[in-house]
Amino acid sequence: MIGRSPVRVAVNGYGVIGKRVADAVRLQDDMELVGVCDVASDWRLRSLDHKGITLYGASEETARSMNQAGLAVAGTLKALVQAVDIIVDCTPKRVGAANVQHYRARGIKFIVHGGEKHAVTGHSFVADSSFTTAVGRESTRVVSCNTTSIVRTLSALKRAGLLKRARGTLLRRATDPWESDAGGIMNTLVPEGEIPSHQGPDARSVDPELDVVTMAVKVPETLAHLHYWVVQLTRPAEKEEVLQAFRESSRIALIRTADGLTAINTVKELMADLDRPRDNLYEVALWEDMLRTEGDELFYAYMVDNQAIVIPETIDAIRALTGLASDAHSSIARTNASLGIRQRFF
């Protein structure tokens, strides 16, 4: 890698994920953020100037609107694509799939996110599990927040030879904190209409060997998802052996109710106290003292910050596709160091 010039990265879509990817790319010394592209011209893009990030419009028309709104625009997506090695698509669900032909026509590498189907790229990415098969590819899909957490945790159990099958109940946050009109619910619980929910099959798009079934329900809060798992182990195991398996993953942080971390809001507050940007929790925060084994059964719960968990995966995916790293271990270590990812918070 020594002497290699930084990989030039673009981010398309400056929303919940895109803004975090942009920040994270700027923290990598082997990457350069060339610019971000969006379609809005309101407050959401007004902080780019403050941050020194270059803005592009999705089309000529968008660029004109941005200009008229007083935003400095460097050009259109077409120009941005010509100036980079790889683009990270963080546009809303299904928009990304439509953008893909554009990226392919320009011959650049690209990453889509979990809102798109596996077939859009033919490869689904979680660094712990599918880094190697992504190396040098044209594209990959960084899977959703829920799926990322599932693959991280179940892969850890699998590597330890403990995983037989896993059954999870997923409490999904209703909407993102900044939203006021997209899916917010109050004083109710809204089951996903289908059992199993889509996350189980989605995890198998990363690792087809995982025997996993999920059920999901939307709950009236905005902070994070919360997963409860019943795992059938390959054999009876003690709690400590399971914890050790989770400790082998650098992106699972063990937390304890005994430390007062009794709810998802306290964990988010801790992230702020640790000076994390946007209170990001990149790790799966898994309650060590709640975890229980009974014979060959394992029970545990963890928290998933749906806004932040896929950010380190996206950084690793950039390294895999562009050949900045050829093995998961070195990329993960580099990403973790840059974002301050840790296995214990104190």
Q: Which residue ranges make up the annotated binding site? A: 38, 306
Binder among 25, 108, 226, 252 for a second copy (CB under 8 A): 226
Q: Is 240 in the site for a second copy (CB under 8 A)?
A: no
Binder among 73, 97, 111, 264 for a second copy (CB under 8 A): 264
The residues near 219 (Cβ < 8 Å, ≥ 6 apart) are 171, 172, 173, 174, 189
* Nearest of 309, 160, 180, 148 to residue 241 by alpha carbon: 160
Residues numbered 148-167 forming contacts with a second copy, rule: CB under 8 A: 167
Measured CA angle at 325 (ends 334, 329), to 5 deg: 55
Q: Determine the distance from the C-alpha atom of residue 269 to the mean position of all C-alpha atoms in its chain, rounded to a whole number.
A: 20
296 to each of 24, 73, 168, 214, 235, how far by Cα in Å? 40, 59, 16, 20, 5
Catalytic entry in 10, 63, 80, 145: 145
Stretch that binds a second copy, among 150-158, 184-192, 304-312, 329-337 (CB under 8 A): 184-192
CB of 143 to a second copy, least distance (A): 22
Q: How far apart are CA 315 and CA 34, in angstroms?
A: 15
Q: How far apart are CA 254 and CA 302, in angstroms?
A: 9
The residues near 303 (Cβ < 8 Å, ≥ 6 apart) are 224, 225, 226, 227, 264, 267, 281, 284, 285, 286
- Name the DSSP letter for residue 197: -
Residues numbered 291-330 forming contacts with a second copy, rule: CB under 8 A: 291-292, 294, 297, 299-301
Token readout for 18 is 């895109």
Q: Is 178 in the site for a second copy (CB under 8 A)?
A: no
Nearer to a second copy, 158 or 268 (CB): 268
Phi and psi for 215 in degrees, rounded to 5?
-130, 145
**Torsion of the alpha carbons at 96, 40, 87 and 74, rounded to the nearest 10:** 150
Q: Decide if 90 is catalytic.
A: no
Stretch that binds a second copy, among 153-161, 243-251, 259-267, 321-329 (CB under 8 A): 259-267
Q: How far apart are CA 174 and CA 217, in angstroms?
A: 9
Q: By rule CB under 8 A, what count of residues binds a second copy?
A: 41
CB of 59 to a second copy, least distance (A): 37
CB of 23 to a second copy, least distance (A): 24
Q: Is 333 in the site for a second copy (CB under 8 A)?
A: no
Nearer to a second copy, 20 or 225 (CB): 225
For residue 217, list its beta bridge partners. Answer: 171, 191
Q: Is 239 in the site for a second copy (CB under 8 A)?
A: no
Nearer to a second copy, 29 or 194 (CB): 194
State the DSSP H helix or E strand holding residue 152, giving kind and residue range, or none if neither: helix 145-159
Q: Is 32 in the site for a second copy (CB under 8 A)?
A: no
Q: Is 196 in the site for a second copy (CB under 8 A)?
A: yes
Token readout for 141 is 């899909």
Binder among 65, 76, 234, 262 for a second copy (CB under 8 A): 262
Binder among 84, 88, 157, 223 for a second copy (CB under 8 A): 223
Q: Is 246 in the site for a second copy (CB under 8 A)?
A: no
Nearer to a second copy, 2 or 186 (CB): 186
Q: How far apart are CA 24 and CA 47, in angstroms?
A: 16
Stretch that binds a second copy, among 52-60, 225-233, 271-279, 311-319 (CB under 8 A): 225-233
Q: Is 221 in the site for a second copy (CB under 8 A)?
A: yes
Token readout for 35 is 């610019």
Contact 75, 56 (CB under 8 A): yes
Residues lying near a second copy in the complex (CB under 8 A) are found at 167, 169, 171, 185-191, 193-196, 213, 215, 217, 219-224, 226, 228, 230, 257, 262-265, 287, 289-292, 294, 297, 299-301
Catalytic residues: 145
